[in-house]
Amino acid sequence: MTDNEASVIDEGTFTVRRTIRIAAPIEKVWTAVTAPEHISRWFGRTVLDGAGVGATGTITFPEYGSVPIRVEVLDAPRTVSYRWGNDDALGHLRDELDDRSTVFTFTLEPVPDGTRLTVVETGFDRTSDPAANMASHGEGWVAELDKLVALLEGDA
């Protein structure tokens, strides 16, 4: 499995960023981060009502619950953004998205022998505890994207 760096937390801009390399073609990575049945294989059980910008649904994590989600941007096969109501420090899950929701964006770039995928999550300044949420999500992106690499590189 490709070894990738950990997430970078920027407290000044309230963002979490992680860039990884996956030994898989961009089309395969794109499907893995946009098709609910494929997202469900590495992230959380994902259900979307509709397709494209504006599609809404949930990502459900075992022993955590369902998090509301909406597709914000879709520019195949390069960029997809999701808004989600995942405020870990709040202590309970929200049923709906609001102005305290964060947005995570996957950007894909073809590189020799694979794809560079960068996730940037923004909006932590509007959450219940920005520092705690950035730390939690920084760790979460390491765990989740490592599962994506393992899946796409055939180790899962």
Q: What is the DSSP string of 36-88?
A: HHHHHHHSSEEEEESSSTT-EEEEEETTTEEEEEEEEEEETTTEEEEEE---G
Amino acid at 63: E
97 CB neighbour count, 10 Å cutoff: 18
Q: Give the pLDDT confidence of 56-97 residue by residue, as tens digits.
A: 999 999 988 999 999 999 999 999 999 999 898 988 888 889
Q: Give the pLDDT confidence of 9-23 residue by residue, as tens digits.
A: 999 999 999 999 999
pTM for the structure as a whole: 0.96
Would you call 101 helix, strand, or coil by DSSP? coil
Interval 35-56 mean pLDDT: 96
Amino acid at 121: E
